[in-house]
Structure 1
Amino acid sequence: MKRRGCVFLWSAFAELDLRTRKLCLRHHDTQKYRQQSKTNHNPKTVPSYSEITSRPSVAFKCYVIASMTFIWTAYTLTIKSSKTDVPQDMMYSSTSVVLCAELLKLLITFAMFHKECEFDNQRFSEQVNRYFINAPKELLKMSVPSFAYALQNNLDFLALSNLDAGVYQVTTQLKVVSTALFMMLFLGRKFSARRWMAISLLMFGVAFVQMNNTPASEANKKRESAENYIVGLSAVLATCVTAGFAGVYFEKMLKDGGSTPFWVRNMQMYSCGVISASIACLTDYNRIMEKGFFYGYTEKVYAVVVLLGVGGLYISLVMRYLDNLYKSMASAVSIILVVVLSLLIFDNVFVGSYFVLGTICVVLAVLLYNSVNE
């Protein structure tokens, strides 16, 4: 049953990913030629996504959000399945998975930009040299969110080493608030009282769902005495700040109105991500050198790499066409889907009154947030 469930999720993701890519490219190509018809750009110059000023359709926004939500859900369930019933001496290195995902994202962005250059190798080479090789300042700018994400990953490990998983999940929802605050500071966004209500309702809803999924037990109480909650909570708060900062900073770089194409921004981001992930692998240096880089890898682990890699690209699409709070809303909906699908795939998962109440809160928060035109 578990294996069939994972196979179903993976095949469904592949189909959804293919359709989403076609829709994204169709949307971009339409806007690109519409923009070119109004201006006298050199046909050899690749237009940036910041030049595209028309708003995406509701169907396009819903499709991107639904795709990202599905990918996050599949990623969570797959990584949980990859760690289930696996002996500790057979466990794979999580830092190597992150590095593989960053390499995959970098390869995909190079391929997508090559396609945007209409597979013209000379044109592709010229644009890469112009925007990537000969633009060290732009690369340095993109290193800021990249290293912030690396810091966030390390803080996650520190927090989970000192906190119960339920407490960690609930507290990390504060990143919704930090994201909104950084959007006000960096992007000049102003939110209505109704949207602040939606953000608050979202936090309460996710908290209720996690309370349902993490009941207290004697084992938990014994573990609590040995956990350092001051260090753990400090790490979680720092994670929320770095996640909000990195996401909004990257969104600002995508929407700054410069001439750098969208896929080049991603190339800059993931190049720095590869460096950050490589540095993180040094923490597992002895283990990797002793057992090998791909030790413990199975089909599920490779699926985790693909989901993590493609999921990062969808986040870029959301930041370009929507904003970080839509991403946070998708994350909240994904948590609920994880619990529901876990009932069918995994054991020891139950649905109680807290889950029902949390589901209602999250759905109302999503509807309330999207009901405001700003």
Structure 2
Amino acid sequence: MKFQNVHITHNDEMDKEKLLPMNSDDLKEDAENALSSRPSFAFKCYVIASMTFIWTAYTLTIKYTRSSVEPEMMYSSTSVVLCAEVLKLLITFGMFYKECKFDSRQFSEQINKYYINAPTELAKMSVPSIAYALQNNLDFVGLSNLDAGVYQVTTQLKVVSTALFMMLFLGRKFSARRWMAICLLMFGVAFVQMNNTPASEVNTKRESAENYIVGLSAVLATCVTAGFAGVYFEKMLKDGGSTPFWIRNMQMYSCGVISASIACLTDFTRISEKGFFFGYTDKVYAVVILLGVGGLYISLVMRYLDNLYKSMASAVSIILVVVLSMLIFPDVFVGMYFVLGTICVVLAVLLYNSVNE
């Protein structure tokens, strides 16, 4: 057997370094770095607890602000969404500046390379940002016409829409256990809807004040936009590109500011007459903060953890919303159908994410 001599010149110095095998010290260092980069148990618990608090507080606060004032004193939901998008963009710039170790030169170079001089990537991220902006506005419509508990449970249909979009865009296939979870989820939502059948004079009065069909339609549209935007964003984060994580968020939230500004035009007459911040109270500002921080948490979960932890927080949030709604809001009807439907939804969410696929 003959071996061909290989001559490596000075110009091939970099290639030579790539061809050399890693020694044991290098392997040990890489292994230690990989282990250190894994999220700790305390971090996982922190994320679950934080997301549970944010989603519960966000749902209840919107419901309270939309049901506790007269229609003529109501704030503009489109302005709230715009403020939240601006808040997310500002926080993202700050987080990326911190990731650059507060080096202004490195920060500006990265911004110019991946953000300002990358219009194609910016256009790609406009798709999920528009979907998220539409979803945020639909949240207000749904919570204005449905009980907080009904809204929280029904929105879990986004698990179904997410699964369908993953099959369509990512080529994913699901096990029988996950399809069983999807069917269980649909039964759970059906039980929740049966709970809304008028059973008393109080329930009839509530339904006359709230347009149930409009609220349900808004929630179903929210599930579709949430599933699509989540899968699309996941595809962009995991496409193997070199764009930094926080730059991806900047691109999406920049487009979100534009789409939210366009949405404000639908309420332009009211905003121009009464003012952009008309009807804002401390609770409305809390909605802005919760919406902004909640969006960032979803991005962090997609980067560091997986959907299992997100679903755990969602399941716990469902229970808290139902319990707290009974204590906060008058005339909240919670019957056996609702309890059964909530249990089915929680079990479905956990079962769906119990499979490591």
When normalised by structure 1's length, the TM-score is 0.74
Deviation per CA, 1:117-145: give whole Å up to 9, x if none: 11111111111111101111110100011
1:268 aligns with 2:268: no
Contact 2:51 2:294 in 1 (8 A): yes
Equivalence for 1:145: 128
Alpha-carbon shift at residue 255 of structure 1 (Å): 1.6
RMSD: 3.6
Are 1:353 and 2:336 an aligned pair? yes
> What is the deviation of 1:256?
1.6
Secondary structure of the corresponding residue to residue 198 of structure 1? helix
Contact 2:88–2:296 at 8 Å: present in 1 too? Answer: yes
Shift, 1:186, TM fit: 2.3
Range moving further from structure 2, 327-336 or 189-198: 327-336
Aligned-partner Cα distance in 2 for 1:339–1:179: 24
State the Cα distance separating 1:348 from its structure 2 match: 2.0
Given that 1:254 and 1:262 are in contact with CA atoms closer than 8 Å, whether structure 2 keeps it comes out as: yes
Provide the residue aligned with 2:12 in structure 1. none
Task: Give the match's secondary structure for 1:101.
Answer: helix
Structure 2 residue corresponding to 1:120, chosen from 70, 89, 103? 103
Relative to structure 1, is the Cα distance of residues 367 and 175 closer, same or farther in structure 2, using a 3 angstrom cutoff? Answer: closer
**How far did residue 76 of structure 1 move?**
1.0
Determine the C-alpha separation between the residues in 2 that align with 1:109 and 1:168.
29
Counting matched residue pairs gives: 326
Cα separation, partners in 2 of 1:66 and 1:197, compared to 1, 3 Å = farther
* Gap change, CA 1:213 and 1:278, over 3 Å in 2: same
Hey, what's the Cα distance between the residues in 2 that align with 1:276 and 1:53?
39
How far did residue 235 of structure 1 move?
Answer: 6.3
Offset, 1:329: 5.8
Letter in 2 for 1:202: L
Which segment drifts farther, 200-209 or 322-331?
Answer: 322-331
CA distances 1:316-350 after superposition (whole Å, capped 9, x unpaired): 12222345576456445423311101222222235
In structure 1, stretches of 5+ residues that fail to align are 1-33, 40-50
CA displacement at 1:59 relative to structure 2: 4.9
1:216/1:127 CA distance change after superposition, 3 Å: farther
Deviation per CA, 1:52-86, whole angstroms, max 9, x where unpaired?
A: 99764555444323321220100111122223331
Matched residue, 1:297: 280
Which of 48, 56, 67 is the aligned partner of 1:84? 67
Question: Which one of 166, 169, 181 corresponds to residue 183 of structure 1?
Answer: 166
Larger radius of gyration: 2
Question: Structure 2 matches for 1:275-294, cutoff 5 A?
Answer: 275-294=258-277
Counterparts of 2:226 and 2:350 in 1: how far apart (Å)? 24
Change (3 A) 1:299 1:158: closer
From 58, 65, 78, the equivalent of 1:75 is: 58
After superposition, the Cα gap between the structure-2 partners of 1:244 and 1:140, relative to the gap in structure 1 and judged at 3 Å, is: same
Identity level (%):
83
* Conservation of the 8 A alpha-carbon contact between 1:194 and 1:369: yes
| Cα pair 2:188 2:344 within 8 Å, conserved | yes
Unaligned runs of 5+ in 2: 1-25
- State the partner residue of 1:194: 177
Aligned to 1:31: none
2:322 maps to 1:339: yes
- Corresponding position of 2:295: 312
Contact 1:170/1:210 (8 A) holds in 2: no
